[in-house]
Amino acid sequence: MNIADNLNIVENKIQEALQKSGDPDRDVHIIAVTKTISTETIRCAMKSGLTNLGENKVQELVSKYEQIGSGPNWHMIGHLQRNKVKYIVDKVSLIHSMDSLSLAEEINKKAGKVKRDIDVLVQVNVSGEESKFGVDPESALDLIESMETMQWVRIKGLMTMAPFTANQQVTRDCFKRLFELREKIWSMNFNNAEMKYLSMGMSNDYQTAVEEGSNMVRIGSAIFGNRNYD
């Protein structure tokens, strides 16, 4: 495994996808998904220029944060339970997995205690798969409206995970729909919804995602190699 080489490949593929997208100057942020990856390897990744790290479990994020510190930007990308918000609210740069009003309220409350604005993305379940977390697209509008007056939580965009399928057209449609949903939310001019990020695309579908307008890709195995997730 060579992180720098892998990263180079990913960056080249993002450039290719940008050319196809009709919006070649867009900035695409790479979130290096470091779940199950050792802190030693993470330090190598940081030397290769990766500054955004994504973790999907609170405990793992906290333990790595304690070892590595606040140098990189920490992204919470996995399902977040309300009772664990307090452990990460002083550490994360962006929560990608905000998917209910009660979670938003808890983040707002705990962020207020440490007096720190917290940026979040609303996770949307575009595909309607039952097993996936995220709000459905219609509820996303209600949720964002309910968050208009929250003092400490800032909505910065949307996140989705494509369904597990080999059918690239299904994946592409999912990304297209998230893009359109953002356009719609933009046009509604909510307070507190800047909508600058679309977090979509993982190792097996990030090129499609970038072609469809993503500006934040969450990449694990294409950078670190394959490993088992639990």
Ligand X SMILES: *Cc1c(COP(=O)(O)O)cnc(C)c1O
Q: Would you give the binding string for ligand X spanning residues 59-88, x where CB under 6 A is met?
A: ------------------xx----------
Q: How many residues does the chain have?
A: 230
Output the smallest distance, CB 145 to ligand X, in A: 25
User: How far apart, in whole angstroms, are the C-alpha atoms of residue 31 and residue 83?
Assistant: 25
Give the ranges where 30-121 is alpha helix by DSSP (H): 39-47, 58-68, 85-88, 101-114
Residues 18-57 that bind ligand X (CB under 6 A): 33, 35, 56
Six-digit token string for 47: 């030397």
Six-digit token string for 43: 């330090």
Does 201 bind ligand X (CB under 6 A)? Our answer is no
Applying CB under 6 A, the span of 14-22, 83-91, 177-185, 198-206 interacting with ligand X comes to: 198-206
Concatenated DSSP letters of 159-201: E----S-S-HHHHHHHHHHHHHHHHHHHHTT-TTEEEEEEE--
Output the smallest distance, CB 95 to ligand X, in A: 12
User: How far apart, in whole angstroms, are the C-alpha atoms of residue 162 and residue 170?
Assistant: 8
Residue 33, H or E segment: strand 29-33
Output the smallest distance, CB 26 to ligand X, in A: 20
Q: Would you give the binding string for ligand X spanning residues 127-166, x where CB under 6 A is met?
A: ----------------------------------x-----
Q: Is 186 left (phi over 0), alpha (psi -120 to 50) or beta?
A: alpha
Output the smallest distance, CB 76 to ligand X, in A: 9
Does 218 bind ligand X (CB under 6 A)? Our answer is yes
Q: Which residue is nearest to ligand X (CB)?
A: 220
- Where does this chain bind ligand X (CB under 6 A)? 33, 35, 56, 77-78, 161, 202-204, 218-222
